[in-house]
């Protein structure tokens, strides 16, 4: 990925991290339930751990709660996180699956951290194992990187400027989430389904204001057999400045928007082949049944895929066909 000068990143991250007001804290009582022998009975957590930075929970930091979970865990454990701004870097290591992080809402439970050295080490939230769920939490700055399979984010926020969400590898489900940024702010190689996303473009609102156009996605699918791709179902794109829907981070990059309300912030060109100019035939970029002031199909790049049999395409890129063939989403804890 291309990076901004370090002094600009410091300025941007400082403003992002301090853009929220302070929140009062509430008390959530700890609760322990009988352990389940069957992880597929996953609407029931085997244990609940509470986090409150003022000391009303079992732990004051999210990371301390994660560290308390034993390696090799096979039962869902819910971590309830109280209202507040948690300034910490949160990491779920590969050997700690079946963790459910539950906040009180993306405007009430916020995790942020001032790190901008490298995209692969600077994320506020990093998750490596399979079977992880987060709900009602916002992650700020270089917000998150997600590696594990069968990871879900419900009503979460991802707020940054460049490389906000590193949607790295695995099958991921994002439902009713908020994404904010200007440059490649949803990028990676994963196989992900974004349902009813609110995408807020912030080109020109923070230095460097001279950026002419931003990019929502940079998807890195590398071959025709690579299952990776980003599918956006419903939702909306709005904000400030001008933005393209995506640019190719891989030779077989794949991004589909279906039924999305595209605001006038979307530039007529729509897409950019980036380093793969001359190889556009291998890229899969499409807009299907979208609407809004930014829907300028007649002015899009000539190599954007034109849907033929729409029903066949919708079936191929439906949630059940694209990421949920084994029904893992319905087995997630609530």
pLDDT at position 243 over 90: yes
User: In sequence order, what are the beta bridge partners of 175?
Assistant: 154, 195
Q: Is residue 280 within 8 Å of residue 252, measured between CB atoms? A: no
181 found inside a domain? yes
67 found inside a domain? no
190 found inside a domain? yes
Per annotation, catalytic residue among 184, 226, 261, 272: 184
Could you report the per-residue pLDDT of 251-290, keeping only the tens digit for each?
Answer: 999 999 999 999 999 999 999 999 999 999 999 999 999 9
Residue 43 known to be catalytic: no
Per residue, the 3-state secondary structure of 106-128, as one string, reads: CCCEEEECCCCCCCCCCCCEEEC
Task: Count the residues in the chain.
Answer: 334
Could you report the per-residue pLDDT of 105-125, keeping only the tens digit for each?
Answer: 999 999 999 766 666 667 999
Q: Is 274 helix (H, G, I), strand (E, B) or coil?
A: helix
Residue 261 known to be catalytic: no
pLDDT for residue 1: 59
pLDDT for residue 116: 62
CA distance 109 to 141: 15
265 found inside a domain? yes
Q: Is 9 helix (H, G, I), strand (E, B) or coil?
A: helix
91 found inside a domain? no
12 found inside a domain? no
pLDDT bracket for residue 37 (50, 70, 90): very low
Q: Is residue 164 within 8 Å of residue 153, measured between CB atoms? A: no
pTM assigned to the model: 0.87
Please give the average per-residue pLDDT across 25-41, as a whole number: 35
Domain total in the chain? 1
CA distance 153 to 53: 23
pLDDT for residue 313: 83
Q: Which domain holds residue 187?
A: 160-324
Could you report the per-residue pLDDT of 70-94, keeping only the tens digit for each?
Answer: 999 999 999 999 999 999 999 999 9
113 found inside a domain? no
Per annotation, catalytic residue among 52, 149, 163, 272: 163
131 found inside a domain? no
Could you report the per-residue pLDDT of 136-162, keeping only the tens digit for each?
Answer: 999 998 889 999 999 999 999 999 999
State the number of CA atoms in the 13 A half-sphere of 35 facing the CB: 5
CATH number, domain with residue 264: 2.160.20.10
Could you report the per-residue pLDDT of 12-21, keeping only the tens digit for each?
Answer: 444 444 443 3
Q: Name, in order, each residue with C-beta under 8 angstroms of 184's C-beta and a sequence gap of 6 or more.
A: 1, 2, 162, 163, 215, 217, 218, 247, 249
């Amino acid at each position: 990925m291309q990076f901004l000068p370090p002094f600009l990143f410091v300025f941007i991250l400082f403003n992002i991290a301090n853009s929220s007001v302070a929140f009062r804290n509430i008390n959530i009582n700890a609760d322990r339930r009988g352990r389940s022998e069957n992880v597929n009975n996953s609407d029931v957590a085997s244990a609940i751990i509470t986090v409150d930075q003022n000391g009303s929970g079992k732990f004051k930091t999210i990371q301390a709660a994660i560290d308390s979970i034993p390696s090799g865990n096979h039962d869902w454990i819910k971590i309830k996180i109280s209202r507040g701004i948690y300034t910490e870097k949160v990491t779920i290591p590969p050997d700690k699956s079946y963790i459910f992080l539950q906040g009180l809402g993306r405007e009430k439970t916020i995790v942020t951290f001032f790190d901008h050295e490298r995209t692969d080490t600077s994320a506020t939230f990093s998750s490596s194992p399979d079977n992880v769920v987060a709900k009602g939490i916002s992650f700020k700055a270089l917000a998150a990187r997600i590696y594990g399979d069968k990871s879900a984010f419900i009503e979460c926020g991802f707020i940054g400027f460049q490389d906000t969400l590193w949607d790295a590898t695995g099958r991921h489900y994002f439902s009713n989430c908020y994404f904010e940024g200007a440059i490649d702010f949803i990028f990676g190689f994963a196989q992900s389904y974004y349902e009813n996303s609110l995408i807020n473009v912030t080109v020109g609102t923070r230095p460097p204001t001279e950026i002419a156009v931003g990019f929502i996605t940079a998807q890195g699918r590398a071959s025709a057999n690579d299952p990776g791709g980003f599918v956006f179902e419903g939702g909306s794109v709005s904000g400030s400045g001008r933005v393209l829907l995506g640019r190719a981070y891989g030779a077989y990059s794949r991004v589909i928007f279906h039924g999305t309300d595209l605001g006038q912030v979307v530039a007529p060109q729509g897409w950019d082949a980036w380093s793969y100019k001359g190889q556009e035939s291998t890229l899969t970029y499409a807009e299907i049944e979208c609407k809004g002031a930014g829907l300028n199909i007649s002015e899009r790049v000539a190599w954007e895929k034109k849907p033929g049999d729409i029903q066949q395409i919708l079936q191929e890129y439906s949630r059940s066909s694209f990421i949920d063939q084994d029904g893992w989403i319905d087995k997630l804890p609530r």
